[in-house]
Structure 1
């Protein structure tokens, strides 16, 4: 730990409290929560907006609700280690349940609210959950999927207002449970259950981009060590005065750790979204005066594209002035004298970004030009990288860095190395003078394994216990990590060249005609070639027409004729798509150039962090030859 000795690092403050506030090297989540409540009882903890009305609860109130619900769970007979499933849209009430489950000593199983009743039933049974807490629509779907009396009890997540207005609710609600025990609260959040930091805290489903979703077993120490690793001085600083926007689904490890738990551990205010539309998001940022905003590449792409589209709608003189100001800002940023926030103060205020201290992008690789545009607007834009199995943050760019291509350096206490991967051609190809390999890591935030899956657990670790990330990349001489792609997605050409689909896909992120893009390999004449799959931005009328005859479009029979597809999506759109592909493909090395384009009229299924589920896409193309294939030497 010699490199990480800054005395201002929170780790040293935590160690000074061992035996007092915390029992082990790393605190449990309940211990960290109580530590915050003791320091910042009157700070706003959770905030929502109902129309123009702002509703907040303090950390003191939050602690009372959490303790009452935790005591109610214990009164039902739940004991340390019992599993409790939680699913629903992001809300303060979801957060109360999550914290109460942990304070009761139980293991929380957060589930994707977009999934159907069968999914929720299967995971509740597989994890042997004793109770499930869900939104009303999800509980209804769960009951439809049940064929016999389940072993778990069902409880409703709802707002206090809905509870006050409800009569004859079908399921017992979380607020009934809170009301039944609110007179028993003592403030002893961390001693409600006898748990240690190495006890399991959560079972988290993996993102599902490669199929066969697994449940990562993560301990309290995995989470809390990651919270402390991320706030090493110079990386990022989360303050008790910060307001964090909790937009991404809370069941996913990235927002759960980096936003929800990080905010709570520092007494920050968490702003919950009104909705997922870009205009709603921008309004939330403005009304909430958000200071820290974490998102995914697709979201940041859409926001900056909206800004650029508004600029294009301006008179030529204003467009020229905007480009000139962006150029000046870029030069000043590289000189270490950022002036973008002053040049674009009006733009930032209109976006709701005028209070933002930090923008952080994770859960995917961002096109460098996108990050550069945010920085030129005067925003402190940084990237990070992680995976569920590491709780999840592994690398992070220092705040204020002008590096937009790297996902950062390894966090304190994480050791990383690169290993060869069987998916790669041999010898390992050098990229920009650096040897590429699979990143393997060791540190206090790595999982113990996959729940009830010893084979997958064995495959996830090296012989000496390093966690295999499955991500390919390289380190530069300053220790910055650059991702080239997933090892399982690598396309190997006939000449033995490695093609990383993600590297090509990022080049299309700002193409205004593309809604989704995926690069995949296909075999022709015994060799591996590259195909670009495009789901274009379609008009509402076109989407409605396709939805009305989905099976015909999925089979592809309707769109094999180029003239027919042009009739459906519009001649201009079809030509613009191919023009963009030609423009970008011609910039690529010969071996990376696109061999054919497949334009599809039904979207590909995505994860909650907006990554295409490649295994489902491959299954779909294997079963249905949908989409118009266009082959050209020009690509």
Structure 2
């Protein structure tokens, strides 16, 4: 394994500095052009056609030609530098081509969440004011048949005005190239609460973050990244899409979280880089553990013992024996080609983090926000800490804890080239996010150890203060339930236990999993008191088990069983607008 010591992922850029780019950092069109020069014949974009299930793969040279053709067409059809172009749809080579072509034409790309309802997208479009909208087939007719202030084009060949049929009538010179401090993308995000905001990210923000992240992670053109999570989201957009085009790696576009498609794409795509959220990794881990348990007590004991040995060897020596030791198990789960797995979008249970490393997969966590492009901390594979969401990139950015309490916990603040330019047309909201001396306030609570590893505690606005004055972070408690497969959703909130004292205790809102109803031989639709009591009894037993491992002030004292799941974001986090 190549050492991170003295590793410099930007060294190759010196060969192109002054010729292919003149700024501190290349713009996205510049870095993509450099990658095409370096790796033009290598695979760039791969997906499976949704009709026939056939595989499509485009080389970097092919993608470059498609991007240039569309960029010329955009300019011929009136796109000026700084104009907005919106894109919304499933992950695909077409989506990525629009993104790059907009930037090659000097425009700003506005990726939008395809899971939103049409009325919600209309609200974002009214704010973004794009000249063009590129949309996937399910929503194409809706927008194409309306009177809009923008023109509508298709990401899917089933529809008219399909992007790969849009060609300029003559050769058009691309002369509207952006500069590194120009806005590359406006990402509309609501996080888990509040009014959606347009986060303005410059070319410098995105490209610098893609390279700075590599100081804690060695990747190269041989890697195959899996774009499974929605690509409009900052996490997938940067850590998969932009990261890949900076180094010449291949991107496999996943369009669905359906297990059959996931397994097919993992196997046939020969994925080496798997980026996901806790929900995805918890499901995969639960499947692995179930398979081991089904082999009987003796095999289960032997496997657990070998896993402990594998983890100890890796931590002490850095040698990964688990990948060979558990090769059949990994192959059965179609994750045997995975070299590195990264979890973001929220803290992962330590037990899950440890499991993957025991099984021989280099598994780490990262941390960031849309407003920071997003990566600002990442666990180095060779020196990871399972309790940490990552080590920040000292020397390339700054991080500090604002107003820490006696335990060192306070608001996480950062400075660096990846910090956003602000919220689109919201100067007052932008100002609230920064301290007077220019530190960006993340809104997250945490603490740093002596080696600059970050430990998350929760969101500032979610913190609960008990009667005894103890601070409780609901996310920490929710994390304790991540391997409880009979619970599909759990969200912890405070409630007033004593109206006179106004003392606050903890309530868990729980949506049971289908597996629990199967074990009880019940239908979810059964609303009889007997059925409800059976479900409550099982859930209560799980909560009691977890409570034993929590501090007294962290324990759940009230359980509410939900009939319907709480609304979630596209990165599988509950939207915390549920207060009862």
TM-score for both structures, normalised by structure 1:
0.86
Partner in structure 1 of residue 389 of structure 2: 407
What residue is the counterpart of 2:480 in the other structure?
A: 507
Matches within 5 A, 1:378-457: 378-411=360-393, 412-420=395-403, 428-430=405-407, 435-457=408-430
Residue matched to 1:11: 10
SS at match of 1:90: coil
Give distance in 1, aligned partners of 2:36 and 2:286. 40
1:375 paired to 2:357? yes
1:332 aligns with 2:313: yes
Residue of structure 1 equivalent to 2:435: 462
Does 2:35 match 1:36? yes
1:196 CA displacement: 0.6
Which residue is 1:631 aligned to?
none
Q: Tell me the equivalent position of 1:293.
A: 274
Structure 2: segments with no counterpart, 5+ residues: none
- Corresponding position of 1:537: 513
Residues 596, 15 of structure 1: alpha-carbon distance in 2 compared, 3 angstrom cutoff: same
Aligned equivalents of 2:523, 2:154: Cα separation in 1: 38
2:48 is matched with 49
Q: What residue is the counterpart of 1:138 in the other structure?
A: 139
Q: Alpha-carbon deviations, 1:607-631, whole Å to 9, x = none?
A: 111000002x22xx3xxxxxxxxxx
2:222 — aligned with what?
241
Deviation at 1:184, TM superposition (A): 3.2
Q: Counterpart of 1:595 in 2: which secondary structure?
A: strand
**Residue 489 of structure 1: which of 429, 442, 462 is its match?**
462
Contact map agreement 1:407 1:481 (CA 8 A) in 2: yes
Gap change, CA 1:343 and 1:134, over 3 Å in 2: same
C-alpha deviation, 1:448, in angstroms: 1.2
Change (3 A) 1:601 1:80: same
Secondary structure of 2:192's partner? Answer: coil
Aligned partner of 1:222 in structure 2 is 205
Q: Aligned partners of 2:403 and 2:316: how far apart in 1?
A: 38
Contact in 2 for aligned 1:44/1:59 (Cα 8 Å): yes
CA shift for structure 1 position 16? 5.2
Choose from 555, 579, 587 the match for 2:549.
587
Corresponding residue for residue 102 of structure 2: 101
Alpha-carbon offset, residue 534 of structure 1? 0.7
Asked if 2 retains the 8 angstrom alpha-carbon contact of 1:15 and 1:25, the reply is no
| SS of structure 2 residue aligned to 1:335 | helix
- Distance in structure 1 (CA, Å) of the matches to 2:532 and 2:230: 36
Alpha-carbon distance in structure 1 between the residues aligned to 2:210 and 2:552: 44
Task: Give me the whole-angstrom Cα distance separating, in 1, the residues matched to 2:278 and 2:345.
Answer: 8
Give 1:510 deviation, angstroms: 0.3
Whole-Å Cα distance in 1 between the matches of residues 521 and 283 of structure 2? 20
TM-score (norm 2): 0.93
CA shift for structure 1 position 458 = 1.0
In structure 2, what is the Cα distance between the partners aligned to 1:277 and 1:52? 14
Contact 1:120 1:142 in 2 (8 A): no
Deviation per CA, 1:50-97, whole angstroms, max 9, x where unpaired?
466432111111011101101111111110110111000111111111
Question: What are structure 1's unaligned runs of at least 5 residues?
Answer: 163-168, 422-427, 548-557, 622-635
1:316 pairs with 277, 297, 303, which one? 297
Tell me, in whole angstroms, the C-alpha distance in 2 between the residues paired with 1:494 and 1:172: 62
Aligned residues: 568
| CA contact 2:105–2:177 (8 Å) conserved in 1 | no
1: CA distance, partners of 2:111 / 2:522: 34
Quick one: distance in 2 between partners of 1:86 and 1:406?
35
How far apart are residue 535 of structure 1 and its match?
Answer: 0.6
Is 1:175 aligned to residue 203 of structure 2? no
Change over 3 Å in CA distance of 1:543–1:224 after alignment to 2: farther
CA distance in 1, matches of 2:36, 2:136: 27
Shift of 1:6: 7.0
Matched, 1:611 2:573: yes
2:69 maps to 68
Identify if the C-alpha distance between structure 1 residues 175 and 410 changes in structure 2 by more than 3 Å, giving closer, same or farther: same
Whether contact under 8 Å (1:238, 1:263) holds in the other structure is: no
Asked if 2 retains the 8 angstrom alpha-carbon contact of 1:216 and 1:447, the reply is yes
Give CA deviations for 1:426-485 in whole Å, capped at 9, x if unaligned: xx241xxxx001011000000011011122101111111111101100011111110011
Deviations 1:237-289 (A, max 9, x none): 22111111110101100000000011011111111125312342122111111
Q: Hey, what's the Cα distance between the residues in 2 that align with 1:133 and 1:40?
A: 28
Asked whether the equivalents of residues 156 and 172 of structure 1 are also in contact (C-alpha less than 8 Å), the reply is yes
SS of 1:227 mapped into structure 2 = helix
Query: Residues of 2 paired with 1:334 and 1:24: CA distance?
Result: 41
1:474 aligns with 2:463: no
The 2-side partners of 1:278 and 1:498 are apart by 39
8 Å CA contact 1:333, 1:402 repeated in 2 = no
Q: Give 1:295 shift.
A: 0.6
In the alignment, which residue of structure 1 is the partner of 2:232? 251
Distance 1:157 1:594, change over 3 A: same
- Cα deviation per residue 1:379-416 (whole Å; 9 max; x = unaligned)? 10011100000000000111233411101111251101
Question: Against the structure 1 CA distance between its residues 21 and 8, is the aligned structure 2 distance closer, same or farther, given a 3 Å change threshold?
Answer: farther
How big is the alpha-carbon RMSD for the aligned residues of Structure 1 and Structure 2?
2.3
- Which moved further from structure 2: 27-36 or 281-290? 281-290
Cα distance in 2, alignment partners of residues 192 and 610 from structure 1: 41
Q: Which residue of structure 1 lines up, in the alignment, with residue 495 of structure 2?
A: 522
State the partner residue of 2:257. 276
Q: Does 1:352 align with 2:334?
A: yes
Which of 147, 155, 163 matches 2:153?
Answer: 155
* Maintained 8 Å contact 1:382/1:401: no
Q: Deviations over 1:195-246 (max 9, x none)?
A: 21000011101243022111101100000000110112xx112211111111
Q: Distance in 2 between matches of 1:544 and 1:589?
A: 34
Query: 1:184 aligned to 2:171?
Result: yes
